[in-house]
Structures are given as structure tokens and as C-alpha cells.
A and B are shown apart, each in its own frame.
Chain A
Amino acid sequence: MARPAYESPLERAWRITYLVICGLIFFFLVAPIIVIIPLSFNATPYFTFTKEMLSLDPSGYSTRWYDNLINSGEWTRSIQNSFFIATISAIIATTLGTLAALGLSRREMPARAAITAFLISPMIVPLIITAAALFAFYARINLSQTYFAIIMSHVVLGAPFVVITVTAALSGFDNQLIRASQSLGANQTTTFFKVILPLLTPGIVAGALFAFITSLDEVVVVLFLAGPKQVPMTVQMFGSLREEISPTILALATILVCLSILLLSFMEMMRRRTEKMRAGG
């Protein structure tokens, strides 16, 4: 950063302090996530760095917790459950949410603010309240402890994210493109599939990923709705964090961190692509 020539020594000292403070805050943000990665390769069943690990002795490291994760039926089943629930609910949430966002962005949409607030409310209402209401509701119609109830609940929680991301993508949309397409003789359907949809794809994909992650990460509602058959990975993790803390959780946590890094890079890629398209590149 180029600094103005009139900077006084006091300002300079302050700027350095400021950068150090920011550095510490960044450290606070990232260090807890990074620290679990080496600890997941700990050869001992503790959550701390052993002497062997610190001296980089290979005997201090082991992949036993990963083996544990893969070979334990409980964990693999719960991971499968999570991915199954997240995939189905993301597909439904993306479909419903994209349609709603397309409607909301129409100029003629009546009562837009009120309807948006309603569609987004599941995101604001505390999860425990949603969980209490849905638990009582599905228990009453004898559907609690079913995949159906869990998937429906996750659609409720995921759809608002789709509405928001697709609406954001639409807000940067140049309506002249539609007119251009129509003036060149395309009908509405062709315009939608050849012009609107490709430009919206990054927004829709981002929304779908949000819905997927929301479901994959969700603990509170499934804690009350899932029966022994549907236990997802988060409930399994919550249970073992409460009872017997084992480093197996750290192995899973490390995998999840890698997943979020992948996701983050993917989102960044999509963002750049949109920027390029917008710039007409």
C-alpha cells in the first residue's frame, strides 16, 4: 500500500499496530480450523500435540482415526444418510427457490418486500424454534423419524439461500439482453434457455451449493426428527462430542474442512466467471 508522504511517525506507528491487530484477528479466525488438521493424524487418542509430533517423529503420526472412520459402520452409514438427504433436499430447494426468485425479480411483482420477507423467514427464525414446531407437527401426523420429514424440513431451511443468491444474480442481469434476443427473433422459451439461464447458472449453482451445505451441516432439526435409521453425520458427531470424545471426529472434521476449501474455490471460480461474462469477455 503506497502511503502518503505527509505521514507522521505517529501515524506510521499506528498503521503498523493496526496491521498487527488485524493479523491477530485473522489468526483467531483461521487458526482453530487449521489446528485440527495435524491433530487428526495424532497417534495417541488425545486432542493435543505430543512430543513426537512436535519433533516431527513419524511414530507420532498415524492414520488410525481415518481407518476408524472408514471402517466403522455407524460413521459410514451416517455419512451416506447425510449426503442422501442433502442431495434430494438441495434439488427440491433449488427448483422452488429459483422459480420464486424469477418471480420476485419481475417488475410487476406485487407486495415484493412482504413476500420476500416471508420466503426468507426460515433463515431468521432460530433453528430451535423451527425444530420444536416441526417436531410437534410431524409427530402429530405420524411422520417423524422418516426421511420425508427430514428432507421437507431441509428444503424449508435451504430454499431461502437459493432465493437470495438467485435474486442477487438476477439483480445484475441486463434486461436489454432479453430485448436483443427477442428482436433477433427468439421466442420466450428460446430466450429463457439460451440467454437467461446460462447467465443465471452461477447464481443457481451457488444457491444449490448453499442449500446442499445447509442440509449437510444442519444439526438441530435432525436431532429431533431423525430416528435411528436416518441418523446423519452431524447428529452422530454431536452425540460423540457430548459423550466420548474421540479423535475420529477430528478425522471427519478435517475431511469437512477440505470440502469447504473445495467449495470455496469453486464459488470463487464461479464469481470470476460471472464477472468475466458481465464484462463481456
Chain B
Amino acid sequence: MTDAAVPGAIPVPEPKAALTTADGKPLKQALRKANAKARRNALLLVLPLFAFLLITYTIPIIQMMTRSVSNPEVASYLPNTAEAIADWDGTDLPSEEVFAAMATDLKNGGRATIGRVAARLNAELAGIRSTMMGAMRSADEFQAPFKEALLADDDDWGDPRLWKLIQRESRTLTPAYYLRALDYEYNEDGDIVRRPDYLRVYTQTFWQTAWMSALITVLTIVLGYPVAHLLATLPASRANLLMILVLLPFWTSLLVRTSAWIVLLQQEGVVNDVLVLLHVVDEDGRIRMIYNRIGTIVAMTHILLPFMILPLYSVMKTIPPSLTRAARSMGATPLRAHLTVYMPLTVPGLAAGVLLVFILAIGYYITPALVGGESGIFISNLIADRMTGSLAQLRLALALATILLVGVLVLYWLFNKLVGVDRLKFG
């Protein structure tokens, strides 16, 4: 500021000359430069976490998605066959050329590689493994024409279904795991059909997850709304004291709260004891409240309730009480004042609470795993069960997880649109 004008003097701009900084640069350019620098600095501060998440989080998630459609076995372990069979029209049997390619692959492939592809195909069509492993053992003796040679080795090589399967599975991308995740499958002719009723476990669990989450969300509204309202309207000193009763469960470990519900709800537990004491039920009539749906719903409502109360409270606190009073003074009944003036103003908090609780609920794993028994499980529990199984099961788990992820991201996008993630607060 050394070149500041003399106080009181009005600076007269030179006609037509552009404004410049002290060292003679045009002001506009200098400003642009300074802004670019500030932007760069801001980005540099964000960069470490951004890069960290990209490597240790986004890449694994993308890998998960690609692995859920990957199908490399046939293409990489039977490369000649995969290439030769691509042009086959699917009628009758493939040409000699395809049989020759298969014979070459069987000869070239070791025990481990053929074993792997045979296992992969056997999962789709039983019996294929022994056919392939048998042919692999005698592959060195095969002579042209290979069609006859293979057919002589095992009749199954004459089964068009086998070749159709190989043709289908020679594609490196497969929708098979997604079909399975939605309870569809390929039948023996290669058509997509629904799985038999008793095997339709995934869609049913997806629905169960959705409706139980919805029910839990409704319960948290019913329990959370009055409490949030009370906290928002009480004088600050008393509200702070009661707030502790909401924050204590919020801060308490999930496992601690789940074990508390096991203690309370089990047949020899505290709730049943009290019911027996009060003669509501007799000693033999103790109610089963856990290891079923009731257990999951009660425990999860308890665990997620603070996530409804806190956003509701933060919105309700900003509503001036004078608004309801004004409505009353104009003749509205208390109920009407509440319904038409107060309630609409709480909608943003309610939306935040609903989406938060619902998003958290549909991904829950631990609580349903511990108190859900057979009937109270969520889709997460199936994902977890499949994750440690065979490679095919792992890919199925990844497909299920991807479907769940897409659902959650849609909700998250909605949440961001309605509420804004930057308005999320804790405590």
C-alpha cells in the first residue's frame, strides 16, 4: 500500500490505460493468476485424501464390479477351442475344426488348468468334468479325425448341450452371476429361465431387506418425532440434559447394544422374566423374541433411532415457536396449528432422517447376523455367507454387493439432492 493516494485526493484514472498492479502487470491478469493459485492450493490440500481413497477404496470397488462379470476360465484355458467355436451356429455338432482345437487344448493344458476349466463348466452341466478329465488323460493318443477320436473316448462329446455351454462360456464377460443374484439361470439349452421356486432366495431376501428397512424407518419416525420435538422446545439447560439420553446410545458400540438386546429378549432373559413376574405369560409360555424377525426389528430400531432424532432435532430447533403461536392466535386449534404450520417446516429434517436411517438399515449385517435367526436376515448376510465360499460363490457375492451398491448410490444421490451431504452433522 505504499503507493496509496494522498488522503482526500480523488484518484483520476488515466484515460484508456488499463489498471495495473504495483509491478506493472494488468490487474485482470494478476487477479486471474492469484485465483488460479488459490484454487491450486485448495486442491492440493484435498489431494492426499482424494488419492488415498482412489487407491484404497475406489479401485477395489471397481475391481469388485468387473470381477462380478468376469468369466476368464474357458477363454484362457481352452484358447484354441474358444476361438474356433465362436462361429458355430449351434445346430447339430461343431465342425471337425472345433474338435481338433479341443484336442489341441486338452493336449497343451496341464492337469491344473484343465481341471479348473472342467470344474467351472461342471458347475453348469453336471458330468462334464469326468468327460474332460478322461479326454485329457488320453489326449496324447488322439489322431485326426479328432471328431471320431473324441466321440470314441466318451459319448458325451456328442452332446450338443456341452458344445453350446462351451460356446457360451467362452465369452470373457458373463451375466451369469447377476442372473443368479436375481434368481434366474441358464437352462441346459442355454436359455435364460427363472430358477425353481424353492431356490429363489435372493430376490426374496432383497425384498425382505427393503420392507424390513422401511418398517424400521417408520418405527424410528414414530419414536423419534415426539422426542425430537420435546428436545427442540424445552429450555436449553433441560434439553441438553435429555440430549445425553439420545447421545449415549449413539456413542455406544453397536456390538454392546446388540448384546444388550440378546440379554433382554432371550427366552431366559430380562423381558421374559418381567412378563412371568407380572403373570402376563406363565413359565412355560415364555415368548420367543429373538433369533427371528422381531429381534432384528427391535434391535435395529433402537440402534438407528438416534440417526432419526438428531437431524429432526437440528431442523426443529430453528423453527421459531412464534409461528405456531401466531396460528393459534388466529383461531387454529393446537392440532391444526401443528399439522399445517409446524409439520411442513420439519420436512427437511424428516427427509434427512428417513434417508439416513433407510440407507444405513439396508446395508446392515452385524445385528441381523446376531439376532435375526433364519427369518430376520438381510441381503448383507447372504453376501457375507457367499464371500468365503468358492470362486464362483465369491463372484456371486460380488454381484449381489454391486446390486446393493447401485441401490444405495441411487438413494445417496437422492439424499444429496434433497438434503446435501455437507449438512450432515454429529453430536
CB of B287 within 8 Å of the partner chain: no
Within 8 A of B (CB), among A155-193: 155-156, 159, 161, 163-165, 167-168
Instruction: Name the CB-closest residue of A to B301.
Output: A28
Interchain nearest-CB distance for B1 vs A (Å): 11
Q: Which of B44, B63, B248, B420 contacts A136 (CB 8 A)?
A: B63
Within 8 A of A (CB), among B354-405: 359, 362-366, 369-370, 380, 383-384, 387-388, 394, 397-398, 401, 404-405
Residues on the B chain within 8 Å of A115, using CB: 46, 50
Q: Which of B3-11, B172-180, B252-260 contacts A (4 or more CB under 8 A)?
A: B252-260
B398, A156: Cβ atoms closer than 8 Å: no
B253, A217: Cβ atoms closer than 8 Å: yes
CB of B182 within 8 Å of the partner chain: no
B245, A108: Cβ atoms closer than 8 Å: no
A156, B426: Cβ atoms closer than 8 Å: no
CB of B42 within 8 Å of the partner chain: yes
B256, A33: Cβ atoms closer than 8 Å: yes
Instruction: Name the CB-closest residue of A to B39.
Output: A108
CB of B27 within 8 Å of the partner chain: no
CB of A231 within 8 Å of the partner chain: no
CB of B57 within 8 Å of the partner chain: yes
CB of A70 within 8 Å of the partner chain: no
A241, B258: Cβ atoms closer than 8 Å: yes
Q: Which of B226, B230, B302, B415 contacts A32 (CB 8 A)?
A: B302
Give complex CA distance A129, B263 in Å: 29
Number of interface residues of B (CB under 8 A): 91
A156, B53: Cβ atoms closer than 8 Å: yes
Interchain nearest-CB distance for A15 vs B (Å): 10
Give complex CA distance A216, B255 in Å: 11
Residues on the A chain within 8 Å of B41, using CB: 103, 106, 108
CB of A228 within 8 Å of the partner chain: no
Residues on the A chain within 8 Å of B251, using CB: 213, 260, 263-264
Q: Which of A29, A210, A263 contacts B426 (CB 8 A)?
A: A210
Given A22-B230, A29-B245, are A108 and B45 neighbors across the interface (CB < 8 Å)? no
Q: Which of B39, B245, B370, B388 contacts A26 (CB 8 A)?
A: B245
Within 8 A of B (CB), among A106-135: 106-110, 113, 115-122, 124-135
B234, A1: Cβ atoms closer than 8 Å: yes
CB of B270 within 8 Å of the partner chain: yes
Residues on the A chain within 8 Å of B302, using CB: 28-29, 32
Given A1-B234, A96-B48, A129-B363, are A217 and B255 neighbors across the interface (CB < 8 Å)? yes
A136, B268: Cβ atoms closer than 8 Å: no
Give complex CA distance A131, B52 in Å: 17
Interchain nearest-CB distance for B23 vs A (Å): 20
CB of A152 within 8 Å of the partner chain: yes
CB of B13 within 8 Å of the partner chain: no
Give complex CA distance A136, B62 in Å: 11
Q: Which of B42, B246, B263, B264 contacts A103 (CB 8 A)?
A: B42
Give complex CA distance A124, B422 in Å: 13
Give complex CA distance A256, B255 in Å: 10
CB of B261 within 8 Å of the partner chain: yes
A122, B53: Cβ atoms closer than 8 Å: yes
B248, A261: Cβ atoms closer than 8 Å: yes
B50, A30: Cβ atoms closer than 8 Å: no
A250, B263: Cβ atoms closer than 8 Å: yes
Residues on the B chain within 8 Å of A33, using CB: 248-249, 252, 256-257, 260
Within 8 A of B (CB), among A12-58: 14, 18-19, 21-22, 25-26, 28-30, 32-33, 35-36, 39, 46-49
CB of A100 within 8 Å of the partner chain: yes
Number of interface residues of A (CB under 8 A): 94
Give complex CA distance A127, B379 in Å: 12
Interchain nearest-CB distance for B50 vs A (Å): 7
Residues on the B chain within 8 Å of A132, using CB: 64, 383, 387, 397-398, 401
Residues on the B chain within 8 Å of A102, using CB: 45
CB of B345 within 8 Å of the partner chain: no
Extra 7 A-B pairs, beta carbons < 8 Å, given A128-B363, A156-B56, A271-B427: A25-B227, A47-B268, A116-B422, A234-B253, A253-B255, A256-B253, A260-B252
Q: Which residues on A are within 8 Å of B, measured CB to CB? A: 1, 11, 14, 18-19, 21-22, 25-26, 28-30, 32-33, 35-36, 39, 46-49, 96-97, 99-100, 102-104, 106-110, 113, 115-122, 124-137, 140, 152-153, 155-156, 159, 161, 163-165, 167-168, 206, 210, 213, 216-217, 219-220, 223-224, 234, 237-238, 241-242, 245, 249-250, 253, 256-257, 260-261, 263-264, 267, 271
In the assembled complex, 27 residue pairs joining A and B whose CB atoms fall closer than 8 Å, in A order, are A14-B334, A19-B230, A21-B226, A26-B227, A28-B302, A29-B249, A30-B245, A33-B252, A47-B269, A48-B268, A48-B269, A49-B273, A96-B49, A99-B49, A104-B46, A106-B41, A120-B424, A122-B53, A126-B365, A126-B405, A128-B363, A130-B61, A153-B56, A156-B53, A161-B426, A238-B369, A267-B427
Q: Which residues on B are within 8 Å of A, measured CB to CB? A: 35, 38-39, 41-50, 52-53, 56-57, 59-61, 63-64, 67, 223, 226-227, 230, 233-235, 242, 244-249, 251-264, 266, 268-270, 273, 302, 305-306, 334, 359, 362-366, 369-370, 380, 383-384, 387-388, 394, 397-398, 401, 404-405, 408-409, 412, 415-416, 420-422, 424-427
